[in-house]
Each structure stands twice: as structure tokens, then as C-alpha cells.
Amino acid sequence: MRNDINRIYGINGPVVTIKGATNLGMTEMVYVGEKRLVGEVIRLDDELTTIQVYEDTSGLKPGEMVYPTGGPMCVTLGPGIIRNIYDGIQNPLTKTAEIAGDFIAKGINVSPIDEEKRWDVEILVKPGDVLAGGSIYAQCEETPLIMHRIMLPPNLSGEVVECRPSGQYRINDTIVKIKDGKGNIVDLTLCQKWPIRIPRPIKRRKPMTIPLITGQRIIDTFFPIAKGGTAAIPGGFGTGKTMTQHQLAKWCDADIIIYVGCGERGNEMTQALVEFSEIVDPKSGRPLTDRTVLIANTSNMPVAAREASIYTGITLAEYYRDMGYDTALMADSTSRWAEALREISGRLEEMPAEEGYPAYLPSRLSQFYERAGSVETLNGRSGSITVIGAVSPQGSDFSEPVTQNTKRFTRCFWALDKSLAYARHYPAINWNDSYTEYINDLTDWYQNNVGVDFMKLRKELMTILVEENSLMEIVRLIGSDVLPDDQKLTIEIARVIRVGFLQQNAMHETDTYVPVQKQYGMMKVICHLYHKCKEIIAHQIPLSRITATGLFEKLIKMKYEVPNDQPEMLDDYMKEIDAKTAALLR
């Protein structure tokens, strides 16, 4: 079938149609028009072929050609991805800016990875070796923090017939040749391509028993997420979704961070770029960018590329997972991604479902979140992808479709509260509305690696906060004077928990990141004060005398005054509590 039959018939924003028979296949990547804009076939019937274009279609005219590629929409995988910043379809924005200036020109075709850079490659196989899909045949140092393991594509296997010596190679240089099962000789380079909408295969899924440590107290102690888990951060405008995701990206203990800015404001992505380049990784002392990939598809970029951006991000995450790394994907925000689905669905004249979103919104969300997990890879290594998606419900309405459907497919829900944010309580995660389903999976890890009574302390603090919530309803009605001292104590200790433990200052050098051992010590000190105060009140000593000791205010400030590397200093607080309460009893 000839190429010249693929002529544009209609253009409706990012949706282009071709009338009559074509030689295109479903989900095939195509180049549209004289400027060869990147597109993807999304619908085929005997009358019309519909193409979703990932670039600006202004200036495109009916009658221009559509050129097939013969393959699906893919990303290029190889050394050089780390430290890069891409748009939604893996165009390298730094390189593109050098060619086109500050604004992305249409139809620019730049390799996602530098094709001229030479890498110090160590060849790990020899002639006669039999390789299966996912086998590692070479490696090179991508950054001082990341050893890039070059793997056989999952759908390929064979016997090594030739390999070059270790040395310096470009990404498209042939370094190994194998003979596949059909007797064909296949050249292996440093890179490979993979379709963004197809999950990379694994050997098996593993139970999630290790937490993703974030250094944020309310997450690590109250609502932890497992490595390989999924979490949602819903919140209205101004509640701190982006700031919370920045904190998680900066401080979580994943090996590789992939941050997808999906439909967010350009200045927020600029802030992420600047901050990530300035932050020193606490584990290695190197810049954080040495283990970070940024995908920026801001609100003024083509809407169709926004829909593709999270698939690009999750495919990059799967690639590094297959090397044996723990990766964390931050998607900010999936609501903007869903809006892109809604806009394209409207242009396709599909029947709308709730609030105009397409009926397939839940299945698309599940396809995305189900690609997370802790797995054994094809080469026998262990890796994981943790997915944390922000949701931006209009007016903080958590009953809207994106939030409700996200709750179905995530096991961790960190609900951001507008009233907490306006009270300058950050992170503004509401402890009454949030939940995690990973507690039973992670209990053994916390008890074995942090403290045997960790879960007991956590439960006690959460119980105090629940009691305070019900007591505050009484206080709002008739005032606090009518409460007995033991209930007033609950309110005072809850204030210590809220202000001294849950509230965290991202701008403070000590408080921006807190190790789990210090979090555990702080919980012990707060619970110790609570039990001592209950003893005193049982001896009919008024609460006002306890508050006069200044212990409550001192505990609120301990998060700043105890260095992160000296949690043993918290023992001094225990001794001071013992001394002052003993004096009151005397």
C-alpha cells in the first residue's frame, strides 16, 4: 500500500483524521505533516483513521502527508537518561533549547540521549555465553551514584557469537553480537527502545515488606508507604501538594527519582530544577541530580503530550527497576493528566461520563498505578517502583471522579487539608482523613530495625489525636473549663503531637529531613511525658502546675534542638521529665 494515500482530511486541535483506507496500524507512531510532528494512531475504522498529535498543530493543513514508522510510540533507554530533563514524549529540553531557543519549535527531532558521548563500558560476557531476556551483558558508570547495567531486551535471547573488548563506546556502537533462536545475528548496542504503553515483563511480584523512608514524620510513623507501593496526595489549590512531592523526591531513600510535572505551572518546574541541582544527596554527598530524571510537561505545552508523559515516566522507572534499583515516580498531578484525557475524548466526540471525564478513566488510572510494585526481575535482581500521584480536586472536593477512582487503586491516602495549610501547618496532611493499608506489611520491619515498641507508640499517639478530635467538639460548644484535668491533659499532649511532631519545617536545616531513629525517640519522649502526667493527675495535682514546668513547650521545640545525628540527646529529655514530675509528686 502506498504512502501517498495517508493525507490529512481534518484537524481538530491535537486530533487529526485521515479519510479512507490507510497503511497505518493501531497505536502506531506516525509523523504528521511537512514538519513531521510526532503522533499516534488512536482509532481505526473503514472510513476514518484518527491520530493524536503530541505537538502543536497550528499551521497544519488538510492534504499534508502522514508518514508511518511501522512501530508503536517508544522511548529510548540507555546511559544518559539520568540528569536529563525531558518533555512528555522524551524530547531533551536542554538540547532542544540550544537549537530552538526558549520556546520549543515544532518538528524538531533531537535524540533523547547524546549520541556522541563516549562511555567507559565494561563488557560482562564472552563468546559462547547464552543470554536470556533481561540478561546484563555490559555496564558503565552513568553518574557517580548510578551504575548503568545494559540489558538484553526482554523479548530477545540467544548465544553470544562476538563481543568487543571493554573500552569507550557511543550508545549506538555495536558491542556484542548474538545469534537468536532463528539463526539471525543481532547487533547489541548500549541502548534499546520500548513502547511506553506496554509494561516491561518481570519474573514475579514480591511482597512489599520494606518502607520507603521519606524523613517526613507524619508519613514515616503514621501513614508509611512500602517500597513498590502506591500513594495519592489529594488537595485543593494552595494545600502544598507540589511542596510535599518535592520533599519526598528530595529525601526519600529510593535509588532513582523520576519526577513528572504533568500540566503544572512552568515556575513550579523551574523551582524543582533549581532546588534539585542545589541539594546535596544526604547518602552520598553528591548533587541530587545524579540520581534524578525530570519530565516537564507544563500547562502551556501540547495537551496530548501531557497524556503521554506519565507513561514515559513509568517506562523509564521500569527500565531502572529491571537493573535492580528502587525507583520512585512522582506524578504531579494526575488531575491535569485526566483533564487531557477529557479534552481529547471531547474532540473525539465520545460519550462523556461523570463530570465530562471519559468512561475509561478508571481503567487508565489502574493501568498506570498497577505498573508499580516490588519485583524479581528477569535477570534475578530485586527492584521496585513506588508511585506517588498528586490529585488536584477543584474546591478540595474529594468526591470528584479522579480522587475517588485514585482511591480504588492506591493503598496510601495522604489527604491534604485546606484549614491546616491556612494555619501554616505543613505538611498539611490531615491525620483524621488519611490512611495507609501497608501497616501490617511493614510492622515486622519497624519492630526489627527501629524499635520493638514502635507500633505501640504510634498507636498511642494516634489514639490521643482521635480523643482530642472528639473533645474539641465539646470545647467548641461549652468551653474547656468544664473538662476534668485528665481530658485537658489529652488536649495538651495532642498539641505537642501536632505542633512538635507532625508539623515539619521544610526550610529548616535540621527539620526538613528526620531519620527514623530520631522520630522513634521523639515518640518515646512524648508518650513518657503523657504517662508521667497521668500519674501526677491521679494524685490530684492540677494540670496547671505541670504546664508551669515548661515541659510541654520544651518538647515542642525538641525537633529543632536535637541534631539528627545525635538522637541519644533525647534521653536527657526523659531524665528532665522524670526529675520535674518527681518534684511535683514530692
Please state the domain extents for the chain.
3-72, 114-190, 204-437, 454-585
Q: Which CATH class is domain 454-585?
A: mainly alpha
The pLDDT of residue 103 is: 67
How do residues 57-78 score in pLDDT, each as one tens digit? 989 999 999 999 999 999 999 9
* Alpha helices, DSSP H, located in 348-452: 361-369, 401-409, 418-422, 439-449
Per-residue pLDDT for 3 more than 70?
A: no
User: Nearest 10 degrees: CA dihedral of 281, 285, 287, 288?
Assistant: -20
**Architecture in CATH of 3-72:** Beta Barrel (2.40)
Per-residue pLDDT for 2 more than 60?
A: no
* pLDDT bracket for residue 172 (50, 70, 90): very high
Q: Which amino acid appears at position 35 of this protein?
A: K
Per-residue pLDDT for 41 more than 50?
A: yes
Per-residue pLDDT for 1 more than 50?
A: no
> In the predicted model, what is the mean pLDDT of residues 421-446?
96
Helices 516-538 and 485-495 meet at what angle, rounded to 10? 160
The pLDDT mean for the chain works out to 92
CATH number of 204-437: 3.40.50.300
C-alpha cell belonging to residue 3: 504512502
Q: Which has more pLDDT, 193 or 96?
A: 193
> In the predicted model, what is the mean pLDDT of residues 186-192?
96
C-alpha cell belonging to residue 494: 495532642
CA distances from 536 to 530, 546, 583 (A): 10, 8, 10
How do residues 363-398 score in pLDDT, each as one tens digit? 999 999 999 999 999 999 999 999 999 999 988 889
Q: 206-242 burial, b if ≥16 CB within 10 A, otherwise e? A: bebebbbbbbbbbbbbbbbbbbbbbbbbbbbeebbbb
How do residues 282-326 score in pLDDT, each as one tens digit? 777 788 888 999 998 888 788 888 889 999 999 999 999 999 999
> In the predicted model, what is the mean pLDDT of residues 510-522?
96
Interatomic CA distance for residues 108 and 583, integer angstroms: 76
Per-residue pLDDT for 420 more than 70?
A: yes
* pLDDT bracket for residue 4 (50, 70, 90): low
Residue pair 223/436 in contact (Cβ under 8 Å)? The answer is yes
How do residues 128-167 score in pLDDT, each as one tens digit? 999 999 999 999 999 999 999 999 999 999 999 999 999 9
| Topology (CATH level 3) of domain 114-190 | OB fold (Dihydrolipoamide Acetyltransferase, E2P) (2.40.50)
Residue pair 426/414 in contact (Cβ under 8 Å)? The answer is no
Per-residue pLDDT for 342 more than 80?
A: yes
How do residues 231-276 score in pLDDT, each as one tens digit? 999 998 889 888 898 899 889 999 999 999 888 777 777 777 777 7
